[in-house]
């Protein structure tokens, strides 16, 4: 009986420590928005981040909730093969330390909407269709299709559409204890 009691006094606290100390699951992030080929949808890329440099420092955005760690949600449009920032919903800390909304002009003094994104060179990922595999982290949810736009200095230079429908299993296969 004392062995069982000893096991509970040692193992139960150890198990609680492991449960409490386990890593938190990251939260899926609110995606940016984009209008492409006349259709509004999600943008699984953050092109605004490359706008901020040592000479143009990133404002001290504040996260309004765990699904928006970057502190803003930008809206974009591809028009005549050019990427434009059309709007932004952003937050910064107010005097009480709470996340408060800020205006476009506070982030881009002296600039008007839409703002040509000539600072951005990279690839935009635009998911299309229905989600076929939800991943509760970042922008990792997989949709039926992905449209990839390669952008150089704000101009679309290449486009590619990937069909993901036959690439993703919705349920993982059962593992055998015989599998290596």
Residue by residue, DSSP assigns 5-72 as HHHHHHHHHHHHHHHHHSPPPPPBPPPEEEEETTEEEEE-S-GGGGG--SSSPPP-B--SSTT-TTSE
At 119-152, the pLDDT tens digits run: 999 999 999 999 898 887 667 788 999 999 999 9
CA distance linking residue 3 with residue 23, whole number of Å: 32
Whole-model pTM: value is 0.76
Angle among Cα 98, 69, 109 to the nearest 5 degrees reads 70
**Which regions of the chain are under pLDDT 50?**
3-25, 174, 176-177, 179-180
Contact yes or no for 43/126 (Cβ under 8 A): yes
């Amino acid at each position: 009986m004392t062995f069982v009691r000893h096991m509970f006094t040692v193992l139960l606290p150890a198990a609680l420590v492991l449960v409490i100390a386990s890593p938190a699951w990251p939260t899926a992030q609110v995606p940016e928005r984009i209008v492409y080929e006349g259709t509004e949808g999600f943008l699984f890329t953050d092109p605004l981040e490359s706008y901020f440099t040592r000479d143009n420092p990133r404002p001290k955005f504040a996260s309004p909730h765990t699904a928006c760690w970057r502190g803003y949600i930008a809206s974009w449009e591809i028009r005549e093969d050019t990427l434009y920032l059309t709007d932004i919903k952003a937050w910064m800390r107010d005097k009480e330390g709470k996340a408060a909304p800020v205006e476009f002009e506070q982030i881009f003094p002296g600039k008007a909407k839409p703002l040509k994104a000539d600072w951005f060179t990279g690839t935009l990922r635009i998911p299309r269709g229905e989600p076929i595999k939800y991943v509760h982290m970042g922008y990792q949810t997989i949709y039926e299709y992905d449209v990839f736009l390669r952008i150089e200095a704000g101009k679309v230079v290449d486009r590619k559409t990937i069909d993901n429908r036959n690439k993703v299993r919705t349920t993982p296969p059962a593992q055998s204890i015989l599998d290596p």
